[in-house]
Amino acid sequence: MLIRSRREFLRDAIRSVSAVGALGALGKLGQMNAMAAGGSGYQALVCIFLSGGNDGHNSVIPIATEQQNFSLYQSVRGPMALPQSSLLPIDNGSDVYGLHPSLPEIQGLYKARVAAVLANVGMLVQPINSATYHTNNSAIVPNALFSHSDQAGQWQSSIPTGLANTGWGGRIADFLQSSNAGATFPAATSTNGSSLFLTGNQTFAANVPSGAPCVLNYGNAARLAGMQQLLTFDNGLQLVQAGNGTMGRGQSFANALSAALAGSTPLATQFPAGNPLALQLQTVAQIIKVRSTLGLSRQIFFCELDGFDTHSGQLSIQAGLLQQLSQAVLAFYQATQELGVDSSVTTFTTSEFGRSLTPNSTGTDHAWGNHHFVIGTAVKGGQFFGQFPSLALGNAYDATGTGILIPTTAVDQYGATLSQWFGVAAGSVATIFPNIGNFATSNLGILG
């Protein structure tokens, strides 16, 4: 009973550390050589995960393009079709598209050429189309397609088959850790709980609550000393020894962040109230502001906006969520301008999958390919990247004939593009994205 109670105590203590902003993960036993590409200056990647599977077909809509027009979209989407008059027009060369009416801030960033659209991206083992999918799909498609948990894990790990212990954000942080030599705070930070995306072989990700980052606090020094004494009780238990290391690192990280923030003035940029994503991004901006105090020249952040699993009531639900996304992203971009790092911070959206073209009464079902946004001054904005799909049912990339569209750009390519801008040498990308060699390019050219 004594051993069991200690384990239970340690479990709860570790959860407490995560909850108040210390470590989001224990890390892995495996080791990885950290080989930086030698970049200079500050850079940050900010991942916004749209949990539940955002409907990209109602986020970015063809109005009049070389390949298709609004009437095709309208006929396929049925009751899910948005009125053309409500769409926010954007151009991609001579092609005209419309953004969801809840995205005026992202429309403004796109028109200012600091935001781009990456079309029809998703998890792939190798490039395929509908014919090859039906010929031998068990060998060439990701495991457990259309499963929330499996696809979320694959998007965050870039491992389409088998179980993953690390995420591609964490592996990037491992690879470039020499850039942060001497830092007093981790390179990887989540504002919404522990994430696979930030888990590396050597990277310990901090979990900082959004709003007002706080520190691990037992009330007084005597309580902290007692906690540490209990954790270091010599009974040979590896779990207790590991827990002591975790607790110590967590306390150190939390203290470093608390001290840095205490010496920093508030941001002038106003973030929208009552917006959970905006609160997370405000926290990210505050941490970026004290980057020099923390000794960081490379940072990776993970934020999450939940609620996109819209099997019913999609029109109203998605409208509210996309409004939160758009307003939060604009405020964050303005904060990076205030801090003078708008060309050094790239924000990008992800989601476990897209949704079906054909509706399910008042909603849509799980699908595959999806459209995403990349935002920042370094982005070659005002244009589309990747191949925008045909919306005609039964086309060469429709896996089922019901509008489950096979991606034409891989998550590996998306991540590899971001990682190279971040400082990973082109020749080293395969270390982080093992399947990148299956695709024609490892750099989509989104970032300058």
pLDDT at 4 over 90: no
The answer to whether residues 31 and 202 touch, using CB atoms and an 8 Å cutoff, is yes
All structural domains of the chain: 43-218+270-438 (3.40.720)
pLDDT at 39 over 60: no
**Alpha carbon distance 318, 102 (integer Å):** 9
What value does the mean pLDDT take over residues 169-196? 95
pLDDT at 40 over 60: no
The answer to whether residues 376 and 421 touch, using CB atoms and an 8 Å cutoff, is no
pLDDT digits (tens, 9 = 90+) for 249-307: 777 888 999 999 999 999 999 999 999 999 999 999 999 999 999 999 999 999 999 99
**Alpha carbon distance 422, 230 (integer Å):** 42
Percent of the chain with pLDDT over 70: 83
pLDDT at 355 over 90: yes
**Alpha carbon distance 257, 403 (integer Å):** 47
Q: Kindly report the average pLDDT of the chain as a whole number.
A: 87
**Alpha carbon distance 394, 157 (integer Å):** 31
The answer to whether residues 447 and 379 touch, using CB atoms and an 8 Å cutoff, is yes
pLDDT digits (tens, 9 = 90+) for 72-120: 999 999 999 999 999 999 999 999 999 999 999 999 999 999 999 999 9
pLDDT at 186 over 90: yes
pLDDT digits (tens, 9 = 90+) for 130-162: 999 999 877 789 999 999 999 999 999 999 998
pLDDT digits (tens, 9 = 90+) for 211-258: 755 444 434 445 455 555 555 555 555 555 544 455 567 778 889 999
**Alpha carbon distance 368, 366 (integer Å):** 7
Q: Look at residue 363 in the predicted model and tell me its pLDDT.
A: 98
Burial 402-417 (b: 16+ CB within 10 A, else e): ebbbbbbbbbbbbbbb
- Which residues have C-beta within 8 Å of that of residue 363, sequence separation ≥ 6? 80, 310, 311, 312, 313, 314
Burial 69-104 (b: 16+ CB within 10 A, else e): ebebbbebbeebbbebeebbebebeebbbbbbbbbe
Structure tokens at 245: 């290391």
Percent of the chain with pLDDT over 90: 78
Structure tokens at 157: 């790990």
Please, which pLDDT band fits residue 356 given cuts at 50, 70 and 90? very high
Q: Look at residue 177 in the predicted model and tell me its pLDDT.
A: 92
The answer to whether residues 283 and 208 touch, using CB atoms and an 8 Å cutoff, is yes
The answer to whether residues 191 and 210 touch, using CB atoms and an 8 Å cutoff, is yes
Burial 121-153 (b: 16+ CB within 10 A, else e): bbbbbeebebeebeeeeeebbbbebeeeebbbb
pLDDT at 357 over 60: yes
Return the residue matching tokens 């935002």: 375
What value does the mean pLDDT take over residues 39-60? 93
Structure tokens at 229: 């004494």
Return the residue matching tokens 């020749």: 427
pLDDT at 51 over 80: yes
Torsion (CA) 161, 165, 171, 173 in degrees, nearest 10: 150
Q: Look at residue 216 in the predicted model and tell me its pLDDT.
A: 40
3-class SS letters over 381-432: CCCEEECCCCCCCCCCCECCCCCCECCCEEHHHHHHHHHHHHCCCHHHHHHH
The answer to whether residues 295 and 184 touch, using CB atoms and an 8 Å cutoff, is yes
Structure tokens at 185: 């705070």
